[in-house]
Amino acid sequence: IPVLALGIGSPTWAVEAAHERGSLIVSLVGAPAHAESAIRAGADLLVAQGTDAGGHTGPIGTFSLVPQVVDVAAGRPVLAAGGVATGRHLAAALALGAEGVWMGTAFLASVDARPSGSVLDKLLAAGPGDTVVSRSDSGKTLRMLRSAWSDEWEAPEAPTPLSMPYQDILIGDLLGQILRHEVAPLVHEAAGQGVAHLTAQEPVAEIMGRLVREADQVLADLGTTRSASPASIRPAT
Amino acid sequence: IPVLALGIGSPTWAVEAAHERGSLIVSLVGAPAHAESAIRAGADLLVAQGTDAGGHTGPIGTFSLVPQVVDVAAGRPVLAAGGVATGRHLAAALALGAEGVWMGTAFLASVDARPSGSVLDKLLAAGPGDTVVSRSDSGKTLRMLRSAWSDEWEAPEAPTPLSMPYQDILIGDLLGQILRHEVAPLVHEAAGQGVAHLTAQEPVAEIMGRLVREADQVLADLGTTRSASPASIRPAT
């Protein structure tokens, strides 16, 4: 199935040209207002991407965003994105009204993604607080692994990043050389808050298998939740 | 049941003194590391409160945070907080591994909360992008309705807010007068990203009834999800 996924806005001319060629249009949106304009442009499927996500991202949390986009979508399929790392997240996304999930960070450290040595080390070492939102790569807010790069651009005396596309024109060659020569303190990667779940390099097939098995188990357990009695809690004195 | 809920840190002396008096300790945490220290201090129940939440809040999204806190909690009960506004959120919280939810914003506009006229107007009018995280009230990061107050403190020429408790000492009387005299442009309220769901003033009993009915329906639907076949999607040409 030909698919065109649009990450920063869904211009009507692009949607129409792709539709004429028989392509599905997937629009990534970070706010209900973005969803409305994507639908007006003709999007077939929406990805509700919360602030938890890696890469370009807005301020609304995935948990808050998904039902709001589902309400705007009025029956069009919605995928949840931003923080999807386990089967619990997949099951929760379905509970929030999504038809499925859209993942990126979960695959960054995979065998199939073949990350460079320094990027892999940083991905596997990253904890839940090790991502930041910074304009220092593209000029737009982008969640990435925290590094000396993001720290220096956040310093009080640092210049304000340029707007898109000028920031990338300014620093793109430098970023390329940082990655090529693996300048470890400055190496970084767009990554979401699910990066904390990456603890070993695995094939994508294993990641997907575990995700589906866990989601299936969670959904089965939830089916019995409704009849279960609440557990009693007592002080730990 | 006597309960002591601790919102910014769980000091061991406070936990022990409350336990001696037969009280349960509820610790609100915004990161897995906070959960670990709350458990060391003796917390009985954890509230995993994501960045979506109103009031003091950290950077990790609710969707990303809850499973990470559940993993740290090692069997202790965890409630999900931050953005819980509908039964879909309650069902999703259970899918993420929480035992239940902790809500605040959902009740702010209720008949029972009796908000002042200008606060009620702002709560009902607020959309998904109308909250900001600011240090301007307490000195710590706190999600609130965006207003002229937060805008002015974010302006490039504005002073940096003082640290807790000095910011509140500096501006507490002023904030009190702003609320007392309902100075509309400056009136604000701690509120989470679920504020977008507030569209009418209702009794808490109605809010709770709808929440439970919707969650029950979502859980019932999820029970049948596993056997359903995926819907087909075709381009909208």
**Candidate from A67, A82, A128 with C-beta closest to B31:** A128
- B207-229 pLDDT tens trace: 999 999 999 999 999 876 554 44
Say whether residue A19 is in contact with chain B using an 8 A CB cutoff.
Answer: yes
pLDDT at B142: 97
Using 50, 70 and 90 to split pLDDT, how confident is the model at A226?
low
Question: Who has greater pLDDT, B169 or A8?
Answer: B169
What number of H helices and E strands is found in chain B? 9, 8
Helix locations, B47-199, DSSP H: 62-73, 87-95, 105-108, 117-125, 148-154, 166-180
CA distance B117 to B135: 25
- How many whole angstroms separate alpha carbon A213 and alpha carbon A208? 9
Q: How far apart are CA A129 and CA B50, in angstroms?
A: 12
Contacts of B64 in chain A (CB under 8 A): 52, 62, 82-83, 85, 128, 192-194, 196
Find out if CATH 3.20.20.70 is the number for domain A3-107+202-218. Answer: yes
State the pLDDT at residue B225. 59
pLDDT for res A228: 45
Residue A134: enclosing H or E segment and its boundaries? strand A131-134
The per-residue pLDDT for range B43-102, each reduced to its tens digit, is 999 999 999 999 999 999 999 999 999 999 999 999 999 999 999 999 999 999 999 999
CATH 3.20.20.70 placement within chain B = 3-107+202-216
CB nearest to A129's CB, from B31, B52, B220: B31
Nearest to A83 among B33, B61, B223 (CB): B61
pLDDT value, residue A230:
46
Structure tokens at A86: 């386990």
A135 interface with B at CB cutoff 8 Å = no
Whether the pLDDT of residue B183 is over 60: the answer is yes
Give chain A's radius of gyration (CA, Å): 20
Predicted confidence at residue A237, as pLDDT, reads 47
The per-residue pLDDT for B223 is 78
A62-73 vs B62-73: helix axis angle to the nearest 10?
Answer: 140
Those residues with Cβ within 8 angstroms of residue B34's Cβ, 6 or more apart along the chain or in another chain: B9, B27
Q: What pLDDT does residue B226 have?
A: 53
Q: Which of residues 216 through 235 in chain B touch A, CB cutoff 8 A?
A: 216, 218-220, 222-223, 225-226, 230-231, 233-235
Where are the strands (E) in chain B, listed by range? Answer: 3-6, 24-29, 45-49, 55-56, 78-81, 100-102, 131-134, 142-145
Confidence at A121, pLDDT banded by 50, 70, 90: very high
Under 8 Å between Cβ of A235 and B21: no
Residues B13, A26: Cα–Cα separation, whole Å: 54
**pLDDT digits 0-9 by tens, B141-177:** 999 999 999 999 999 999 999 999 999 999 999 999 9
pLDDT of the residue at A223: 78
Q: Taking residues A130-139, what's their average pLDDT?
A: 97
* CATH code for residues B3-107+202-216: 3.20.20.70
**Tokens 């990554």 sit on residue:** A191
Give residues 102 to 121 of A whose Cβ lies within 8 Å of B. none
Q: What is the pLDDT of residues B8-35, one digit of tens each?
A: 899 999 999 999 999 999 999 999 999 9
- Burial (CB < 10 A; 0-12, 13-18, 19+), residue B1, is exposed
Residue among A179, A102, A96, A170 nearest A144 (CA): A179
State how far the Cα of B87 lies from the Cα of B110, in Å rounded to an integer: 17
Q: Which position has the token pair 């994508």?
A: A204
Rounded Cα–Cα distance for residues B4 and B16 (Å)? 11
Report the pLDDT value the prediction gives residue B89, as an integer from 0 to 100. 98
Give the mean pLDDT of B194-218: 97
| Helix extents (H) in B29-163 | 32-41, 62-73, 87-95, 105-108, 117-125, 148-154
Q: Does B74 touch chain A (CB under 8 A)?
A: no
Token pair listed for A38: 């994507």
Nearest in space to B126 (alpha carbons), one of B113, B101, B111, B108: B108
What is the tens place of the pLDDT at every residue in B120-138?
999 999 998 999 999 999 9
Q: Which of B14, B20, B86, B13 is nearest to B52 (CA)?
A: B86
Tokens linked to A135: 């304009």
Provide the pLDDT for residue A235: 58
Residue A233 has a pLDDT of 53
Confidence tier at B230 by pLDDT (50, 70, 90) = very low
Of B89, B196, B83, residue with least CA distance to A64: B83
Distance CA A51, CA A40 (A): 24
CB B110 within 8 A of CB B204: yes
Q: What is the pLDDT of residue B236?
A: 53
Residue intervals of chain A classified under CATH 3.20.20.70 are: 3-107+202-218
Tell me the ipTM for this assembly. 0.93
Using CB atoms, which residue from B25, B32, B219 is nearest to A226? B219
Residue B232 above 80 pLDDT? no
**Cα gap A30→A82, rounded to integer Å:** 10
